[in-house]
Chain A
């Protein structure tokens, strides 16, 4: 990796005054060795296991390949045309964006409302904070399995509805193509709403009480204080949460794989579950790679657009230095 590291300017900004003559060149060599020794291993691991596979995915995507035999059946962009003309994959892309949209429109406002209501000194606030964080720390697999058992036909959820006199609402929760995606979204909401609330509560601590008091003295009611003072000041937190949520929704895999495996009738596939289905279960590594590239291009476009239009202010300076 040493080719990436070049000699720096002669003057070090952070360090002892530059020495003269041979001592100086010796210290420059020493500096280069130090840089190579400290940065080398990380660069090696990072380039090998992150960049090379991503590049390989792009390469494999032009082949008809099962992952084992020789990589010699070059088929051009056929994998891409196949994916882009498969109605199941269309539906998978649509599902990803449905989850993105529902997350922003339902989880966001819901979390905001709860956070605003909880943002006051109440007894047991610490316990509440801790308990609503529980679903987030469970793995998606464990959360998904728990919900699969809860939602099974004649399971506890159905029996709860029955007791509440709502048996008319009973569904084949995970077996009906019309409701399965909504159920997946519901479980995701259960799992990630707590995180959103916690992030927003943390952001709310950055809104000074004095501002709200000043607004109250000026005659603003609770609603006006929230919409005119608090929420605008929460902007950065909300935009960061939304970014997390969008990227997470586009990469969604674990929960879908556990709850439905993309079924029933392919109604709940996401791009990632479609990729694993073909790439792993059906050994079509070339085709799966093409799907991965499409997933990457879509995520990258969305991320860049989002950064361009929403996150720019928050990130300005953050990429260069956060300490200033």
Chain B
């Protein structure tokens, strides 16, 4: 089986099976599933439930349920400017990164996939080589460079480098998508008077929707969870905490209020809720995107 068939098979409908007789292996499977799920979820539940307790209760019985339920920790976070400022920064950065990387990525993938010119293969290899340059290696010079460009402390200082580092995966996933559209379609469009650019806008883009969603979700996830670059661009850039991204902000909050465990738990759980909702809704896209990313 080649790697390419993986995604096809993943989306393939599995035919319904007839009812199977009971076997003893079945309860064992449920037990294992239960254990795995509990270990996975327990820390998350601890954080969420801990936010409903008082600091004294947490100290006295660290692993107990809320009794009584206290809403003040969550209320304090929800009414704080800091939290919403950070939600805003994270959202703007993630949406901006997604938009920039999809726009740049689909344009260059269009050229690589649909134009015949010398240097096309070289262009593709240039982007493929980018997979070997993670942000970690480039972050120090990037930091100096952003300082000189005056982008330190600005969301553009996050958006542009993040988009640049997401381009290799994006191009590698999108190029085959755009190439898969049959030449006949392009010829038919040309006969109907569409230019190549018109073909790109009216036919290619609508047809490559699923690919665009996949790369978009990957870029969004990467940006939303990013820590290293915001650490350099925002924290070391001297930005006030209200303009931090959430991961940076949560970390900063937990250092600043380290004695207020309940407050930290409430802040942490509110910070993970938007990500949880968004990503669980798009779980399949993320998985297929990750498979595609490594295959390329």
Residues of chain A at the chain B interface (Cβ within 8 Å): 4-9, 12-16, 31, 34-35, 38-39, 41-43, 45-46, 48-54, 56-57, 60, 67, 114, 117-118, 120-122, 124, 128-135, 137-143, 145-150, 154-160, 163, 190, 193-195, 197-199, 202-203, 205-206, 209, 222, 233, 235-237, 240, 243-244, 247, 251, 253-254, 257-258, 272, 275-276, 279-280, 285, 288-289, 292-293, 295-296, 299-300, 303, 314-315, 317-319, 321-323
Given known pairs A6-B118, A46-B127, A202-B287, the reply for A16 and B228 (CB within 8 Å) is: no
Give the shortest distance, in Å, between A214 (CB) and chain B (any CB).
16
Contact indicator A7/B280 (Cβ below 8 Å): no
Contact indicator B276/A50 (Cβ below 8 Å): no
Which 5 A-B pairs rank lowest in CB-CB distance, beginning with the nearest?
A8-B117, A206-B9, A139-B225, A137-B279, A49-B164
A-B pairs with beta carbons under 8 Å apart, 25 shown: A8-B116, A8-B118, A12-B116, A42-B167, A45-B167, A46-B127, A50-B165, A114-B32, A133-B279, A133-B283, A139-B224, A142-B250, A142-B271, A145-B250, A149-B47, A150-B43, A155-B62, A157-B63, A194-B40, A197-B36, A253-B228, A257-B227, A293-B137, A318-B3, A319-B296
Interfacial chain A residues near B295, Cβ < 8 Å: 240, 314-315, 318, 322
Contact indicator B62/A159 (Cβ below 8 Å): yes
Among A118, A139, A205, contact of B12 (Cβ-Cβ < 8 Å):
A205
> A50-B130, A133-B283, A292-B137 known; 7 other A-B pairs, CB under 8 Å?
A49-B142, A49-B160, A118-B29, A122-B26, A137-B286, A142-B247, A285-B140
How many residues belonging to B are interface residues under a CB distance threshold of 8 Å? 117
Residues of chain B at the chain A interface (Cβ within 8 Å): 1-6, 9-10, 12, 14, 17, 25-26, 28-30, 32-33, 36-37, 39-41, 43-44, 46-47, 50, 59, 61-63, 100, 104-105, 107-108, 110-112, 114-120, 122-123, 126-128, 130, 132-134, 136-145, 160-161, 163-165, 167, 171, 176, 179-180, 183, 186-187, 190-191, 196-197, 221, 224-228, 231-232, 236, 246-248, 250-251, 254, 261, 264-265, 268, 271-272, 275-276, 279-280, 283, 286-288, 290-291, 294-296
